[in-house]
Structure 1
């Protein structure tokens, strides 16, 4: 007669713990706060913010140009005339208003 050996529960427990920890760390590497999906979201958000920054910088440059053109050192008469018309709502006597 051959004697049957009982399975080693220590090896089964060790394998189970190892597989559980491996699954946890793989899940954390993909889904966690510092995982691959979060990194892709951060890179996408960084690209959007970079585009928004460029648009704001262009707007600031435009406003600086207008401010310089209306300064005491350099006065653009045409721009001053346009701003006065926009703010005061006035027009010249030789102009025709189309509504």
Structure 2
């Protein structure tokens, strides 16, 4: 009986819902999510920077020209378009 109880408790400590293997999986998931969060924060900062540069308070004419050319697919007569 003691061996069966010890075996069950050992199994539960390793494989159970709150066991060691579950803990390792959660820690791994946490690391992956932290990396994803860092990448998303970087992407958000880049988008926010571009938004600020295109706002009416601080308009960046070069960026506006670039975006208009990209959307409208237009170029000047003396330019060569490369895609």
TM-score in same-fold range (> 0.5): yes
Unaligned runs of 5+ in 2: none
Where do residues 53-68 of structure 1 align in structure 2 (5 Å cutoff)? 53-68=37-52
Structure with bigger RCO (C-alpha 8 Å, 6+ apart): 2
* Residues 98 and 31 (structure 1), Cα distance of their counterparts in 2 relative to 1, 3 Å cut: closer
Give me the whole-angstrom Cα distance separating, in 1, the residues matched to 2:82 and 2:10: 69
Which position in structure 2 is the counterpart of 1:85?
69
Unaligned runs of 5+ in 1: 1-16
Q: 1:73 aligns with which of 43, 57, 68?
A: 57
Rg larger in structure: 1
Task: Provide the alpha-carbon RMSD of the alignment.
Answer: 1.0
Which position in structure 2 is the counterpart of 1:25?
9
**Aligned residue-pair number:** 83
What's the CA shift for 1:93? 1.6
Which of structure 1's runs of 4+ aligned residues deviate more than 3 A?
none
Which position in structure 2 is the counterpart of 1:38?
22
Give me the whole-angstrom Cα distance separating, in 2, the residues matched to 1:30 and 1:97: 62
Q: Deviations over 1:42-95 (max 9, x none)?
A: 100110011011111111000000000000110000000000000000001221
